[in-house]
């Protein structure tokens, strides 16, 4: 059974990553046909960085991803602190509501937010309300649960006596938060921010419904490329985006592994002290 699980896991990873390998190989292909490799070339990447339209779309995606992840990190961390101090059914109810954007189908979330923004536009008498701000609000909304779910376990793992000790030593509650609490939960904050950035960078479904003609992100525009023969420089763009997201996810996992190792060492020291 263990051997079957091992081979099945390998098979799943093959199916997951083979398409990305094919795209990466196609980005270095001299030929236009993705199925026939006619020689190695870097011209696709040169064409990509000479395409002002694609670079502008990438810039728009990065702006939204950076701003939404930063704002969601601040709001999500504050929300996690508030939820952690709740007790009983209230805490369970709030966590259930918090998880809705994650469990809800993206198309439902996108249509719902589009209808909400349309209603607000009608109330405020704004003809074209969809644009940068609606896109940013939507991304912050679906990023918040990822921040909260990464910060909450770190709050649960934190020794409450550390904050009490800081207060006893003369720190104000604000100083104790920045010097003790924030330091202890920082791995969760960083992991949540990285996850929020990656989710925002490649989001298409929700962005498609809340974006306007004045501000378009790369995933939304690339969707229109699929209706006609795709230019090879787009393969180069896909490859670079995949590498960026892969690096971020590996970094997040390394940070989490480092934090777990640190906590195990601290727990071992405390046990020896006892």
Give me the number of domains the chain comprises. Answer: 1
What is the CATH number for 193? 1.10.3720.10
Query: What are the phi and psi torsion angles at 14 (to 5°)?
Result: -65, -45
pLDDT of residue 13: 79
pLDDT at position 87 is 82
- Whether residue 61 is contained in a domain is answered as no
What is the per-residue pLDDT across 186-199, written as a single tens digit (0 to 9) for each? 888 988 998 899 88
Instruction: Return the pLDDT at 270.
Output: 63
Nearest to 221 by CA among 231, 230, 232, 208: 208
Position 66 in a domain: no
Could you give the 3-state DSSP secondary structure of residue 57? helix
Please state the φ and ψ torsions of residue 158, each to the nearest 5 degrees: -70, 140
Which residue from 246, 216, 242, 266 is spatially nearest to 58, judged by alpha carbons?
216
* pLDDT in the model for residue 221: 82
98-110 burial, b at 16+ Cβ within 10 Å, e below that, comes to: beebeeeebeebb
Q: Is the dihedral of CA 151, 96, 143, 177 positive or negative?
A: negative
Q: What is the pLDDT of residue 72?
A: 95
- 51 found inside a domain: no
Mean pLDDT of the chain: 84
For residue 274, what pLDDT is reported? 55
- Report residue 166 CA to chain centroid gap: 33
Q: Does 39 reside within a domain? A: no
Specify burial of residue 226 (Cβ count, 10 A radius: 0-12, 13-18, 19+): exposed
What is the pLDDT, as a whole number, of residue 156?
A: 85
Given a cut of 80, whether residue 34 has pLDDT beyond it is no
pLDDT digits (tens, 9 = 90+) for 155-178: 888 877 788 888 888 888 888 888
The range of the structural domain enclosing residue 227 comes to: 76-273
| Average pLDDT of the residues in 190-219 | 87
Assess if residue 246 is contained within a domain.
Answer: yes
The pLDDT > 70 percentage for the chain reads 95
What pLDDT, on a 0 to 100 scale, did the predictor assign at position 42?
84
Regarding pTM above 0.75, the answer is yes
Q: Is residue 8 part of a domain?
A: no
Residue 137: per-residue pLDDT: 93
Region for 51 from its dihedrals, namely left if φ exceeds 0, alpha if ψ lies in -120 to 50, beta otherwise:
beta
Question: Has residue 64 been placed in a domain?
Answer: no
122 C-beta neighbours (distance < 10 Å), count: 11
With 80 as the cut, is the pLDDT of residue 113 above it?
yes
- pLDDT at position 266 over 70: no
Q: What is the pLDDT of residue 191?
A: 86
Q: Characterise 39 by phi-psi region: left (phi > 0), alpha (psi -120 to 50), beta (else).
A: left
**Composition of the chain by helix, strand, coil, percent to 5:** 80, 0, 20
Residue 190, in any domain of the structure: yes
């Amino acid at each position: 059974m263990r051997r079957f699980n091992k081979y099945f896991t390998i098979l799943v990873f093959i199916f997951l990553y083979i398409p990305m390998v094919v795209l990466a190989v196609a980005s270095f292909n001299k030929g236009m046909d993705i199925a026939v490799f006619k020689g190695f070339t870097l011209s696709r990447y040169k064409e990509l960085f000479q395409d002002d339209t694609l670079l502008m779309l990438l810039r728009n995606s990065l702006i939204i991803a950076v701003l939404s992840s930063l704002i969601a990190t601040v709001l999500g961390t504050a929300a996690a602190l508030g939820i952690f101090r709740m007790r009983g059914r209230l805490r369970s109810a709030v966590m259930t509501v918090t998880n809705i954007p994650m469990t809800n189908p993206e198309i439902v979330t996108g249509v719902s937010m589009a209808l909400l923004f349309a209603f607000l536009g009608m109330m405020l008498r704004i003809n074209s309300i969809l644009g940068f701000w609606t896109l940013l609000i939507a991304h912050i909304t679906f990023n918040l649960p990822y921040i909260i779910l990464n910060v909450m376990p770190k709050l649960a793992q934190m020794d409450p006596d550390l904050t009490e000790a800081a207060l006893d030593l003369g720190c104000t509650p604000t100083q104790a938060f920045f010097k003790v609490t924030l330091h202890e939960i920082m791995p969760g904050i960083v992991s949540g921010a990285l996850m929020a950035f990656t989710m925002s960078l490649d989001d298409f479904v929700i962005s498609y419904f809340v974006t306007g003609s004045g501000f378009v992100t790369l995933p939304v525009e690339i969707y229109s490329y699929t209706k006609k023969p795709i230019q090879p420089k787009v393969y180069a763009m896909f490859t670079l985006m995949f590498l960026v997201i892969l690096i971020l996810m590996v970094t997040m996992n390394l940070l989490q592994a480092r934090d777990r190792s640190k906590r195990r060492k601290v727990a071992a020291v405390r046990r020896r002290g006892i």
